Each structure stands twice: as C-alpha cells, then as structure tokens.
Amino acid sequence: MNDYTVRTIRPDETRAAGDLFRSTLHLGPVKDDEWPYAERMHQPQRGIGAFDGELIGTVRSFDTELTVPGGTRLPFAAVTGVGVRPDRTRRGVLRAMMRAQLDDFTTRGVPLAGLYASEAVIYGRFGYGAATVTRDFEIDRRRAALRPEVPAGGEVSLLSADKAVERLPELYANLLGDRPGRMTRSPHWWPGFERALRRAEAPVTTVVHHGPGGADGFAQYTVDRHHWSQPSEMDVWHLEAANDDAYAGLWRYLLGVDLVDRIKVPGRPLDEPVELLLTNPRACDTVSVDDGLWLRLVDVPAALAAREYDGEPVVLEVTDPFLPANSGCYRVCPDGVSRTDVPGELRLTVDALAMLYLGAWRASALATAGRIQPAEPKALARADRLFATTVAAWCGTHF
C-alpha cells in the first residue's frame, strides 16, 4: 500500500524540490546567489512531487524539441531532477512519479521524452532506452600538430560572458543542423548554462568562429593551471560547428592556446573525425565510450511515422508494459508506418525500440544481445538498413 501521494509541485515548493534533488546527488542546497538562475530552470507545471506529509521525491521536465532521422523535429520532454529521499527509496516512489509524468506527456500529446541517467539500470523498466552513444577523448597537445591539408578555417574571436549569454542561444539555434538526437535548447536550459559560465571556479572562455556567411561555430572551455611546473588541462565544455571549416578553425584555435598540456573533451559524437586532423592520430586517446541520451517513445505510432527510412518493409511487434496503448504490430517502410494485424517479424520491447530509433544500435546487434527476438531472422538485415542513419546520433546538450 502506498502511503504517499503524487502531485504537481506548486511554485512555492520549487526550491525545496530542487534542493531535495540536489541532496539525492549528495550536493548541498542551492545558494541564494545561484537561485535566480536555478529558479528559471524549472518550467512551471512540469515539476512532480511525492509527499507523505513531507516532500520525499521529485521529478521534472521542460519542453523542447528533438531531431529525428530525416531532420524532423518532434516535441520532446527533457526529463531531469529525478530524486527520492534516501530514507524513502525502493518502495515505488520513482515508479509512481514516472507513472504520473508519462501519463501527463500522453495527455499533452508529447511523442518523445528523454533523460541522462545517473545509473544505467534504472530507466529501462519505464521504457527508456540508451539511444545515443558518446565518446570522451583527450588530446596530448604537445604532440598534436595539424596535418597540412586541414582547412584553414576562418577568424576566431573571444566573446565576453555577457555577450555569450546574449548571443549563443541564437547562434546555437542557427547551427543545430539535422543530426539525429540533437535538441533545441529551451529558455529553461540556458539559465543553467549562464550559471555555469558566471559561477565557475576557473575563468570560462568563449570563442566564436566566423566563416564567409558570419558566425558558424563556437567553443567554450576552462584551463586548469595550478603551478608553472605542473601540467595544465583544458576542459572543453562546448564545441559546435556548422561546417567543416568551422570545425577545423575551432580546433586550430584550441590546439594553439598557450600553456595547455592536455585537452579533455567529454560527451562527443562517435563519428567525430578529430584524430584525422592530426599528423599523429595517437595524440588523441579515447578515454571512454558511454550511453548518452536515454529516449522514451511516448507515442510509438507518431514517433515511428516522423522519421525517415531506407529499404524494404519490416513488421515490428512492440511490447510496452508501462504504456500499453503502444503495444502492437507496426509495418515500417519508407512509404510510411501503419499498425497491422500481420504477425511481427521482430519482437522487441519499447526500450529496445528507442535504442533502434535514432540509429545508434543496429537491429542485428540488439538481436545478438537478446533485446530483439526475430520470428523471421531475415528481417534483421532489412531492419538494419531501414533504421540506419548517415551520421551518428548525438544529443550534445546535457540537462
């Protein structure tokens, strides 16, 4: 029996909800001078709390859009702030909040939701699947020289913190492109960016790349340098380029920053050709490859219909225990997606479908792991082709 209730967080409870979430991550309450930023990150009516007399759990989201293969952008609920008080865990509080939140997305007609998972074992049961894969890499700057044929790039210029806050939202929107998994950054995302920029311990540097058509890329980084005799590290927080020239120009700049020994770049797309810029590709080390965005197809027919496909039809039999209206057979082909009574060729749960959806995982790889059960084994090769994408799925926006 549940001895708690789940309801929408009131505006006067927002700060307590934020602090509860922080405490579950072993962080202290938000400081008074940071609250003006943090408050703007909470979209009204999107916070959910569990109460048993006191607030014991919280989850929230903000509205944005996600690019799906083919370039269409779908409404997307960015889920964050998930936490349950440690003296109330493992009694179904998260499950009850996920129920309320996914029901709310369904009622409001939001086809996709996603999150970054603190642990990879939590969200599959609610239908979320790891739908992008990211790479962290590090460059030994002292060994990294650019190959002669690398494009020269354009001019790179510094941007003050005030100008970064003012100009980057529009610049980011202009260079978003159509890579699957990319998301628009809502007015509830940028305050976190501003807080990080203005409150960081080390100075944050923002640079913009200018091509023939104007600003077409930017990067942001800090340099950790304690003592002249110690190696110093650059941490690249953001690197966005609309084209190859901007990408090369930004790397030419970053590799040229003085008094830096190592450049650390987390959470990048798998197909980023950074090694190919270097005369010695081994100056770049992959440090880890991890799950990135966890995606939830809230409305399976709408989500399947919105993306592009290539190749021959496949019939998928999808099971969604948490949102059973999604369960059923779908005929998927480049001409469209329709529900069908024809028996499914490939059986899978909705979290595995999310792993397939942006093209990060091949159907045959999911079958190898038992995540897809093929009633018709030949359908795997067709599904591999149908769901393949020309560029790797990548979100690049942490929330």
Ligand X SMILES: CC(=O)SCCNC(=O)CCNC(=O)[C@H](O)C(C)(C)COP(=O)(O)OP(=O)(O)OC[C@H]1O[C@@H](n2cnc3c(N)ncnc32)[C@H](O)[C@@H]1OP(=O)(O)O
Determine the residue type at 124: G
| From 8, 30, 92, 305, residue interacting with ligand X (rule: CB under 6 A) | 92
How many residues bind to ligand X according to rule CB under 6 A? Answer: 23
- Given a contact cutoff of 8 angstroms between Cβ atoms, the answer to whether 156 and 309 are in contact is no
Q: Site residues for ligand X, window 104-143 (CB under 6 A)?
A: 115-119, 121-122, 125
Q: Is 118 annotated as a binding residue?
A: yes
Work out whether 95 is an interface residue with ligand X (CB under 6 A): yes
Shortest Å distance, C-beta 50 to ligand X: 8
Q: Catalytic annotation on 76?
A: no
**Closest C-alpha to 351, from 146, 120, 195, 49:** 120
Q: Which stretch binds ligand X (CB under 6 A): 73-81, 189-197, 336-344, 384-392?
A: 73-81
| From 20, 38, 41, 93, residue interacting with ligand X (rule: CB under 6 A) | 93
Q: Catalytic annotation on 399?
A: yes
Q: Is 84 annotated as a binding residue?
A: yes
Q: Which stretch binds ligand X (CB under 6 A): 40-48, 67-75, 78-86, 226-234?
A: 78-86
| From 79, 348, 352, 393, residue interacting with ligand X (rule: CB under 6 A) | 79
Active-site option among 62, 105, 123, 126: 123
Taking the least distance from each CB to ligand X, the nearer of 85 and 385 is 85
Binding site for ligand X (CB under 6 A): 24-25, 79-84, 89-95, 115-119, 121-122, 125
Residues of the binding site: 82-84, 90-95, 118-119
Residues of the binding site for acetyl-CoA: 82-84, 90-95, 118-119
Catalytic residue numbers, as ranges: 123, 399
